[in-house]
Structure 1
């Protein structure tokens, strides 16, 4: 899985250069660096549970207002040169993120900015990340049924919809990948904090002007083509990443690997290769027989729209959310009909 850029190369000219307000302490618990060092055994490698392109994640237990909590401590990795305005940009990200509340976004437990460090703390996800469930051999990927994958995709869509249109300014996440989706004890997906998220235009503005970036950051296969070409980002870049996520969810493979494996250039060719049916030969083997044919067609259709080369042809996340909810409803109806038919067959057999 390819990764682009270092973390401190993405400072946007549109980002505020003002020092963060002291109100952050009223929005989020401030930990000392010594507290976090102690809880992670001085950031010992044995505590590492995740490594990103600009941060490391550690499992820890820490007292918050007298309550012991199992948490993830995510420590921003410093580049060779850190400019003051870049640190301000990332601190502002923490401040803004502390003000966002949605059931499909991770809630920050606290933060630390001692000694030029930047660290965020959030509740440890008992089911790990979506990446864990899809790819790691020590976890049983078959626990992710087709219906559960649909529910996860709907939750992520809701979180993105909130970021794009639920606040005064559009928030572009820029890191919509399986590793950024955390699963709680009830399998509710939560989009984790993104260091590289940027503020877009005000939601009231009719035209979404792109935000210019000084460098490109992200994961190959999930980065929108216009971002690679022009280093300009809009909320439609998140929609493209979400389309790649839909593909990974249904195939349990990295988007680039899926296209290479089946020797196709794009999602349309992949749909044609699978033909009419339930996607057998393309989808994750554990899903074969679970998916209603109509659901497969609609799912791949919305995936294709999200992955459109032209960002103007991609749907907004609100539309994607509605379409996925419709697919889930159709699948539940198909499951009910299948169960009824099986019951009738069993009754007929008993009567004989």
Structure 2
């Protein structure tokens, strides 16, 4: 029995249990290490698409139930993989990806648990990540238009809304960044899990109590201030991260760089300054002239509320989704009138 199978409990020889624990094989497809070695040309560096302290990700094609699929093979490094943190991260990856089915959440294709190797396999994003598209180096590649950025933000908001209210227990993602947003061939965004996501209280609970973590999790610049200060999280931490993402989509810069370059004390001042027409160097130069004034005003208002220092003043993602859909409608109407 592999490491991951032991972690999930596996099947039991005891017949006294009326409800035995589900094995990991019940959740998703199991690949052999030999299959994944072959599909990645022996984990060749030429197929490497991402690398972190915990894992390496490879591009591959593999047959699943007779169908050839383009996939990402995420191979956990062996040392952290056998640590308690690595095991928990991998388990969370599988549980969240297998049990959550939504058009804007990256689903799991399968896993491998052979010879002390822990590997998860998920759909390969043909358009790469949102980070790839925002900061592309190939000038001949098509740019992300303002309307497409709005559509992507709406898709991500829908995915987060499902995590926060579409299941019995709230799921807090904790890593809403351009790197975590994958884009399929139709530019549909799919939020992937990094293993640091946590389950929160039941959605029906009226009082939201913060969950205390052992350490601060997430990417600097997107982490909510209350989480940064005391390592406590609620679903409103994701709302803050999403606000930082909205800021990045319109400015074309990492949130930290926006504040450092322009030295704005708060989001309100940034919104007001750009609203006067002084947008040079603030918003992404590609978007200059594309954004309708009313659309800008509404978009920045949503961003401001999401980035509220007080988590209780941040809206829920369902409300954010509806407001962004309205922003897109405003932009489409402005485009029609302009044409």
Fold match (TM-score > 0.5): yes
Q: After the TM superposition, which residues 242-261 of structure 1 pair with which residues of structure 2 at under 5 Å, given as runs?
A: 242-261=242-261
Specify the alignment match of 1:230 in structure 2: 230
Contact 1:142–1:286 (Cα < 8 Å) also in 2:
no
Specify the alignment match of 1:294 in structure 2: 294
RMSD in angstroms over aligned alpha carbons?
A: 2.1
In 2: Cα distance, 1:176 partner to 1:318 partner: 16
In 1: Cα distance, 2:286 partner to 2:219 partner: 26
Contact 2:89–2:194 (Cα < 8 Å) also in 1:
no
Shift of 1:147: 0.4
Shift of 1:111: 1.2
Task: Flag structure 1 segments of 5+ consecutive residues without an equivalent.
Answer: 1-16, 340-352
Q: Is residue 2:172 matched to residue 1:205?
A: no
Greater shift in the superposed pair: 106-115 or 156-165: 106-115
Specify the alignment match of 1:195 in structure 2: 195
Specify the alignment match of 1:133 in structure 2: 133
Greater shift in the superposed pair: 107-116 or 174-183: 107-116
In 1: Cα distance, 2:89 partner to 2:176 partner: 20
Contact 2:275–2:297 (Cα < 8 Å) also in 1:
no
What SS does the corresponding residue of 1:115 show, helix, strand or coil?
coil
Contact 1:56–1:77 (Cα < 8 Å) also in 2:
yes
Contact 1:278–1:296 (Cα < 8 Å) also in 2:
no
Contact 2:147–2:328 (Cα < 8 Å) also in 1:
yes
1:315/1:139 Cα in 2 relative to 1: closer, same or farther (>3 Å)?
farther
- Does 1 or 2 have the higher relative contact order (CA < 8 Å, sep 6+)? 1
What SS does the corresponding residue of 1:218 show, helix, strand or coil?
coil
Specify the alignment match of 2:144 in structure 1: 144
Specify the alignment match of 2:172 in structure 1: 172
Specify the alignment match of 2:269 in structure 1: 269
TM-score, normalised with respect to structure 1: 0.86
In 2: Cα distance, 1:283 partner to 1:170 partner: 34
Number of aligned positions between the proteins: 323
TM-score, normalised with respect to structure 2: 0.89
1:180-218 per-position Cα deviation (integer Å, ceiling 9, x unaligned): 111111111110133111100111111122121112222
Shift of 1:85: 7.5
Specify the alignment match of 1:103 in structure 2: 103
1:41-90 per-position Cα deviation (integer Å, ceiling 9, x unaligned): 22222211112453321101111112221111112335558445762563
In 2: Cα distance, 1:194 partner to 1:111 partner: 15
